[in-house]
Amino acid sequence: MKVLKLSAQGLPQSWISLEQAVLHYAADEVRWEVGAQVALFRGGHNAETGLQSQISVSSIIGTKGVPNINPFDLKPGLTNTKLFARDRNVCAYCGLVHYEEELTREHIIPFAQNGKDHWMNVVTACRACNHRKSNRTPEQARMPLLFAPYIPSLWEDFILRNRRILADQMEFLMAHLPKTSRLYT
Ligand SMILES: [Zn+2]
């Protein structure tokens, strides 16, 4: 389980571990929190009061400090896992849902025809369809795309890169998605 770390302005920064989150709390860097309490850490006892210190960690925290991600010049890295998640494990040619082991990164304009390895030139395809299309464009292969590729937004990228997102974190991120996102369906 990860904590969603945002800048004080509310822009996503990273997924961090509970331990990393506690360090932010201990350093008094947490400016605000949303979502449910996901962990409670107990520390030492105060010598004078005898009270035990404790840190309650929320699923979403806004931290002070200079943001390390500028959302306007960020291009989400392309990985197969994120690509398959973007396309919801659906093959762009036969339209069937497949297990991840059966899926491939398919270049719409193939490498052999100078196609690029970029979000806009890749779709998820099953092995059979990828093999059948081979080094041809969809037009040449007469295999029309069933859906179009797109570059995930910063917010989508945060959804695509974590497979175990808590309900309140998902709700928070989904609220920022463009209406065109496939993650809505
Ligand atoms: Zn297929």
**Dist. CA 149 → ligand 1 center (Å):** 16
The CATH code for residues 80-141 is 1.10.30.50
Kindly report the pTM of this predicted structure.
Answer: 0.78
**Dist. CA 98 → ligand 1 center (Å):** 8
**Dist. CA 93 → ligand 1 center (Å):** 5
CA distances to 145, 149, 160 from 18, rounded to whole Å, are 42, 35, 20
Provide DSSP, the chain: --EEEEETTS-EEEEE-HHHHHHHHHTT-EEEEEEEEEEEEEEEEPTTT-PEEEEEEEEEEEE-S--S--TTS--PPP-HHHHHHHTTTB-TTT--B--GGGEEEEESS-GGGT--SSGGGEEEEEHHHHHHHTTS-HHHHT---SS---PPPHHHHHHHT-SS--HHHHHHHHTTS-TT-GGG-
**Dist. CA 10 → ligand 1 center (Å):** 39
Per-residue pLDDT of the chain (185 residues; tens, 9 = 90+): 999 999 888 888 899 999 999 999 999 999 999 989 999 988 778 888 888 888 999 999 999 976 666 655 667 889 999 999 999 999 999 999 999 999 999 999 999 999 999 999 999 999 999 999 999 999 999 999 999 999 998 888 999 988 899 999 999 998 888 777 777 65
Domain regions of the chain by residue span: 1-71+163-185, 80-141
